[in-house]
Amino acid sequence: LGRVEGLEGLEGVSAESMLRMKRSGFGDEELALALRTTESAVRDRRVSQSIKPVYKRVDTCAAEFESFTPYLYSSYEPTCESSPNARRKVVILGSGPNRIGQGIEFDYCCCHASFALREDGYETIMVNCNPETVSTDYDTSDRLYFEPVTLEDVMEIVNEEKPDGVIVQFGGQTPLNLALPLKKAGVPIIGTSPESIDLAEDRKQFGQLLTTLGIPQPDNGSATSLPEARKIAARIGYPVLVRPSYVLGGRAMVIAYDETTLDEYMREAVDYSSPGRPILIDRFLEDATEVDVDALSDGEYVMIGGIMEHIEEAGIHSGDSSCVLPSFSLNEDHMEKLCAYTVELALALKVKGLMNAQYAIQDGKVFVLEVNPRASRTVPYVSKATGVPLAKLAARLMTDRTLASFDLTLDRGSGTLLKNGRAGSAFLGMLPVKQFCVKSPVFPFSKFHGVDPILGPEMRSTGEVMGIGEQFGEAFAKSQLSAGTRLPLEGRAFLSVRDKDKSKAIEIGRRLLDVGFDLVATRGTAQHLSEAGLPVRTVYKVMEGRPNIVDLIKGGEIQLLVNTPIGAKSFFDEKAIRRAAVQHRVPCITTLAGAMAAVNGIAALKSEPIRVLALQDLHEMAVGR
C-alpha cells in the first residue's frame, strides 16, 4: 500500500499490483483513500482489469454428511464454487458485528425474514460476517455469504447471484447506510425506498414533512460548525439534545445544559459524525414520557404492532429504558394521536414493511422525536408480546403481499380522529396484548468496575429481557429478576435526589414504608422527607464524615438505592455511591420513574409468589379469553 500511495493516480496501478493488493485484503475504499480518488473509480479500474473475487465453499457438515447449505467466502483465486441458480431469490443484509446499539435484535429480524421468504418459495441469501449470530447458522437461509456488510462486498455478491431484490431494513444502521449507494448502482432494493429512508434521516427534509402533515416536533436545527451550533442552541433554549446524524444506539449523544457543554461536544463531534453529515440539535423535553411505536405498512394500509410506554422519562436512551406493553398511563386521546400520527407518517414515507416511530408526551402534547422506516430493536419484544411475528409479515409485504392477506385479529379503537380523514381510512387496527409485558435492559456494569452506572441519551445496555404478568408490578419484577437484579423484599432503602425530584421522592418514600422498608437519606433529601412526616435516618455523604453512605453499602446495611443525578458539585459523591452499589450488588436506580416501578414490583412479589408459564401457553390462554 505504501508503494500505491506514491503513485499519481489509478492509471499507475497495474493489474498485477491491483490483484496483489486485493489478495492482501485491501478494500476498494482503502485504496481510494490512498490514491486520493473515489471508491467507484477504483472499482471501475479493477473491473476493467478483469479483477473480481470468486467464492469458495465451506463444508458445513465437515465431510460427515452431505452439505445442503452453501457457506461461501470470497477469495481472489482462479476458480469459483458459488454455482448460483435461476430460482427467485432475495438477498438479506445482516447487521455485521454486534455492538452496543446494534445487536441480536436485528439478527432476529433477519432470521425471521429468511424463514418467511423460504416458506413462500424464495431462495434466501444471507450476507453477514458475525459467527455468533443465528443468521449465519447453516440452516437459517438457503445460501450464506460470510462477508463484510460493505458496498464493495455486497455489490460483488449481487453481481454473482443476480437476485430479484435486496432487503436492507432488517440489519440496523449498517445495511441501511448502503441503501442509496446500492440503488444508484442499479441494485433492486425492495421494501421502503432508499429515498424515503434518507428523507427520514435528513433533519431538514423530515422537518418539512412534519410541518406539511401538521405533526408537532421539538424545536430543532442542524449544524456543521461551532458558531452555527451556538446560534441554534440560543434560539431553541437550553437544555438541548445534541447528536450526530446517521448513527444508531444514541452513539455520542449528550444533553447540553449550557454553552460550555455544547462547545466541548462540537469540538469532538467530527470524530463521531459521518463525513458530510451535520450535527443534530433538538430542544430537550424535560419530564416527558417517551413512547415507541412499531408499525407495518403495505404502502396503502397501516397496522400498529404495539405502543410501548417507556418507564424512564425522555432523555434516557430507548435501548436503556424499560418499557411496558400495553401502556399503563396513557389516556385515549394520547393513544389515538399516536396511532394517527404513525399512520400519516407511514403513508407519507411510502413505507413497505416495518417502521418505528419515537414520541415524547409533555404537558399532554404529543411530539415526534424521530421515525425510522426499518426494523427496530423492539420488534422481537413486540412479536413475543403479541404472538405475531412482525418481521415475517414485513418480509412478505416487501414481496408485494398486502396486510389484508394476513389473518390477524386487530383492535381498531373508537376515537373520532381515526374515523375521519386519510389516517382513519388507512388504519387497519392494532394488535391486542392481553397481559402486561415489560422489557428491561441488561447492563454490563458489574463486569466493569469503576464505570458509573448513570443512564443518559447514549446507549449502555448489552442485552434485554422480558417479563409477563397479569399486573404491571408482577411483569416488572419478573423482568428485573431476568436481568439479574433481585429486588429486595425488606431492609433499608437509601434516597438521594436532586431538588426538583424531592416532591416526587415523598411519594416513593411513602410507598417504600408501606411495603416494609426503613428510609435512609442524605441531609437535603432527609429534611424534605421528614417535613412530609416520613420517618427517615440521615446519613453522611462521602465528603462529610464517617460512617457515610458508602460505608453503609459496604457493610450490607443498604438493600435498595435510589440516586438521581444532582450535578457537577456532587459528582464525586454520586459516582462513589453508585459504584459501591454496583460492586456490592445493591440494586441502584437512577430515575424516579424506575424507582416507582421497582416499588410496584416489590409490592407484587410480597403479595404472591412469581408464576412461570411458557410463552406458548400464555398466547393460548389469550386466544381462549
AA letter at 553:
I
Spatial distance between the Cα atoms of 405 and 394, rounded to a whole number of angstroms: 12
Q: Is residue 279 part of a domain?
A: yes
Same structural domain, 11 and 97: no
Same structural domain, 299 and 390: yes
Q: Is residue 336 part of a domain?
A: yes
AA letter at 187:
V
Same structural domain, 293 and 265: no
What local confidence, expressed as pLDDT, does residue 271 receive?
A: 54
Q: What are phi and psi of 194, to 5 degrees?
A: -60, -30
State the pairing for strand pair 588-589/560-563.
parallel
Same structural domain, 359 and 393: yes
What local confidence, expressed as pLDDT, does residue 139 receive?
A: 82
Task: Give the N- to C-terminal CA distance of the chain in Å, as an integer.
Answer: 68
Range of the domain at 324: 289-433
Nearest to 117 by CA among 362, 495, 391: 391
What one-character DSSP code corresponds to residue 361? E
Tens digit of each residue's pLDDT (9 = 90 or more) over 286-296? 778 899 999 99
Q: Is residue 622 part of a domain?
A: no
Tens digit of each residue's pLDDT (9 = 90 or more) over 123-132? 999 999 988 8
Average the pLDDT over 507-513 and give the result: 93
Average the pLDDT over 94-117 and give the result: 86
Q: Is residue 199 part of a domain?
A: no
Same structural domain, 368 and 392: yes
Spatial distance between the Cα atoms of 109 and 25, rounded to a whole number of angstroms: 30
Spatial distance between the Cα atoms of 608 and 569, rounded to a whole number of angstroms: 43
Q: Is residue 445 part of a domain?
A: no
HSE at residue 183, side-chain half, CA atoms within 13 A, is: 17
Decide: 92 and 113 in contact? Cβ < 8 Å: yes
Judged against a pLDDT cut of 70, whether residue 567 lies above it is answered with no
Q: Is residue 448 part of a domain?
A: no
pLDDT bracket for residue 267 (50, 70, 90): confident
C-alpha R_g of the chain: 27
Judged against a pLDDT cut of 90, whether residue 164 lies above it is answered with yes
Judged against a pLDDT cut of 70, whether residue 625 lies above it is answered with no
Spatial distance between the Cα atoms of 24 and 464, rounded to a whole number of angstroms: 39
Answer with the residue of higher pLDDT: 445 or 212: 212
Answer with the residue of higher pLDDT: 476 or 451: 476
Sign of CA dihedral 24, 30, 35, 40: positive
Same structural domain, 273 and 294: no
Same structural domain, 296 and 389: yes
DSSP sequence for 526-545: HHHHHHTT--EEE-B-TTT-
User: What value, to the nearest 5°, has the Cα angle with vertex 303 and ends 300 and 305?
Assistant: 150
Judged against a pLDDT cut of 90, whether residue 183 lies above it is answered with yes
Q: Is residue 451 part of a domain?
A: no
Which one of 413, 433, 453 terminates a domain? 433
Average the pLDDT over 577-600 and give the result: 86
Average the pLDDT over 113-119 and give the result: 95
| Average pLDDT of the chain, as a whole number | 86
Number of domains in the chain: 5
Average the pLDDT over 140-160 and give the result: 93
What one-character DSSP code corresponds to residue 446? G
Answer with the residue of higher pLDDT: 249 or 187: 187
Same structural domain, 159 and 64: yes
Sign of CA dihedral 343, 346, 347, 349: positive
HSE at residue 342, side-chain half, CA atoms within 13 A, is: 32
Locate the DSSP E strands across 374-458. Answer: 427-430, 436-442
Average the pLDDT over 20-35 and give the result: 89
pLDDT bracket for residue 8 (50, 70, 90): low
Same structural domain, 68 and 162: yes
Judged against a pLDDT cut of 50, whether residue 138 lies above it is answered with yes
What local confidence, expressed as pLDDT, does residue 10 receive?
A: 80
Which one of 245, 267, 283 terminates a domain? 283
Locate the DSSP E strands across 9-63. Answer: 54-58
SS3 of residue 570 by DSSP: helix
Spatial distance between the Cα atoms of 474 and 610, rounded to a whole number of angstroms: 7
Decide: 325 and 338 in contact? Cβ < 8 Å: no
Q: What are phi and psi of 465, to 5 degrees?
A: -135, 170
Judged against a pLDDT cut of 50, whether residue 6 lies above it is answered with yes
Average the pLDDT over 533-549 and give the result: 86
Same structural domain, 427 and 304: yes
Judged against a pLDDT cut of 80, whether residue 395 lies above it is answered with yes
What local confidence, expressed as pLDDT, does residue 303 receive?
A: 94
What local confidence, expressed as pLDDT, does residue 1 receive?
A: 57
Which one of 254, 283, 312 terminates a domain? 283
What count of other Cβ atoms lies within 10 Å of the Cβ of residue 153?
19
pLDDT bracket for residue 214 (50, 70, 90): very high
Spatial distance between the Cα atoms of 87 and 41, rounded to a whole number of angstroms: 32
What count of other Cβ atoms lies within 10 Å of the Cβ of residue 239?
20
- Find the CATH number of the domain harbouring 234: 3.30.1490.20
**71 CB contacts (<8 Å, ≥6 apart)?**
57, 58, 59, 60, 138, 144, 146
Share of the chain above pLDDT 70, in %: 91
Decide: 151 and 168 in contact? Cβ < 8 Å: no
Tens digit of each residue's pLDDT (9 = 90 or more) over 305-358? 999 999 877 777 777 888 999 988 889 899 999 999 999 999 999 999 999 999
Judged against a pLDDT cut of 80, whether residue 58 lies above it is answered with yes
- Find the CATH number of the domain harbouring 66: 3.40.50.20
Judged against a pLDDT cut of 70, whether residue 479 lies above it is answered with yes
Exposed / middle / buried, residue 373 (Cβ in 10 Å: 0-12, 13-18, 19+):
buried
Q: What are phi and psi of 271, to 5 degrees?
A: -75, -25
Nearest to 278 by CA among 229, 327, 311, 348: 229
Share of the chain above pLDDT 90, in %: 43
Judged against a pLDDT cut of 90, whether residue 458 lies above it is answered with no
Q: Which alpha helices (H) appear in 432-522, and where do they start and end? A: 472-482, 502-514
Same structural domain, 277 and 293: no
Judged against a pLDDT cut of 70, whether residue 275 lies above it is answered with no
Tens digit of each residue's pLDDT (9 = 90 or more) over 39-54? 999 999 999 999 999 9
Q: Which three three-digit cell numbers place residue 459?
A: 446507549
Judged against a pLDDT cut of 60, whether residue 429 lies above it is answered with yes
Q: Is residue 209 part of a domain?
A: no
Tens digit of each residue's pLDDT (9 = 90 or more) over 72-81? 999 999 898 8
DSSP sequence for 276-345: TPPEEEEE--TTPEEEEEEEEEESS-EEEEEEEEEEEETTS-TTTS-EEES-SS--HHHHHHHHHHHHHH
Same structural domain, 69 and 39: no
Q: What is the largest CA-CA distance in the chain?
A: 84
Spatial distance between the Cα atoms of 213 and 574, rounded to a whole number of angstroms: 44
- Find the CATH number of the domain harbouring 394: 3.30.470.20
What local confidence, expressed as pLDDT, does residue 619 receive?
A: 74
pLDDT bracket for residue 542 (50, 70, 90): confident
Answer with the residue of higher pLDDT: 300 or 224: 300
